[in-house]
Amino acid sequence: MKITEHINAAKGKTLFSFELLPPVKGHSIQSIYNAIDPLMDFNPPFIDVTYHREDYIYKQHENGLLEKVSYRKRPGTVAICAAIMNRYKVDAVPHLICGGFTKEETENALIDLQFLGIDNVLVLRGDARMADSGFIPTPGGHCYATELLQQVLDMNNGKYLYEDHEVANADFCIGVAGYPEKHFEAPNLKTDFRYLKQKVDMGADFIVTQMFFDNNKYKEFVALCRENSINVPIIPGLKPITSSKQLISLPKIFHIDIPEDLSDLVHNCKSEKEVKDAGIEWMIHQCKELVEFGAPVLHFYTMSNPGPTRKIAEAIF
């Protein structure tokens, strides 16, 4: 089923879903199952699986010269999605990203997804490689999420890169990212919002937000969307703070704001266990407010660590 169909079928009830990271190469599919099993009690209608581009390492030769070598750290998202759907009978939502993939590789992935009966995709530009100061497009690939979105929309309309034979229309339900506190590369929220509206006007079916810790940011973002005729479902992305280090790492990596009350709460904790418990309690309070507000889904960024999400879900669902 499509994400929009799941939401419509819920008839106003808030659903539970979560996102997984593919395991580091060398780990088996069991590591994915270990991350999913503790959360299946809460009946997620869908599970997201992230996509990751190649990265680079520098290999030193005996003569002292360095060779730049491309490598992939994690196995493919398409295969993981197929395994999830086969084992759990829930919809898997693969991320599609611009970086690291040519248009041909993207089309091949979409063909595989369509063949497997995967109805949903989340379209993202993706992050820069660790060694790069900013996002560098892959030669022959897409520079922007809008371009990637258009490729998926084209396939939905039966338009492939090379139409050398009769093709069938795809029928993907397409999600895009939303940033209640704006994307860090946008000069201001208004400019960032204009690009979001462009994606929805093009045909995006739902929005998943970046994580946030102040529900007012989400409520203001939803209001802004509705005032500008963006009427697709807006799914809040959520992640509890589980260590004191995240007061620095989360704003640095995800460019989000930590409310003063939350940072004071963490600073006053006497141990990392207290920090974890406080972060979970904060998120439980957030989730209760979001359910009352009418959020269609509570979508958790688990980082493949199901423990904290399970504690939160037990208090909500």
Q: How confident is the model at residue 165 (pLDDT cuts 50, 70, 90)?
A: low
Q: How confident is the model at residue 164 (pLDDT cuts 50, 70, 90)?
A: low
Q: How confident is the model at residue 67 (pLDDT cuts 50, 70, 90)?
A: low
CB 135 within 8 A of CB 99: yes
Q: How confident is the model at residue 20 (pLDDT cuts 50, 70, 90)?
A: very high
* pLDDT for the residue 206: 98
Q: How confident is the model at residue 28 (pLDDT cuts 50, 70, 90)?
A: confident
* Higher pLDDT among residues 41 and 162, named by residue: 41
User: In this prediction, what percent of the chain has a pLDDT beyond 90?
Assistant: 74
Q: How confident is the model at residue 52 (pLDDT cuts 50, 70, 90)?
A: low
Residue matched to tokens 């759907």? 85
- Catalytic positions, please? 19
* pLDDT for the residue 61: 73
Neighbour tally for 129: CB within 10 Å: 17
Structure tokens at 133: 């100061």
Residue matched to tokens 């995709």? 121
Q: What is the mean pLDDT of residues 114-122?
A: 96
Per-residue CA distances from 119 to 22, 46, 208, 232, 237 (Å): 20, 11, 16, 17, 20
With H, G, I as helix, E, B as strand and everything else as coil, classify residue 205: coil
304-315 pLDDT, tens per residue? 899 999 999 999
Look at strands 297-301 and 206-209 and give their pairing.
unpaired
134-148 pLDDT, tens per residue? 777 788 889 899 999
CB 8 within 8 A of CB 291: no
* pLDDT for the residue 173: 98
* pLDDT for the residue 10: 97
Q: How confident is the model at residue 64 (pLDDT cuts 50, 70, 90)?
A: confident
CB 154 within 8 A of CB 123: no
* pLDDT for the residue 139: 87
Is 65 a residue whose pLDDT tops 90? no
* pLDDT for the residue 129: 60
Contacts of 265 by beta carbon, 8 Å cutoff, 6+ apart:
278, 282
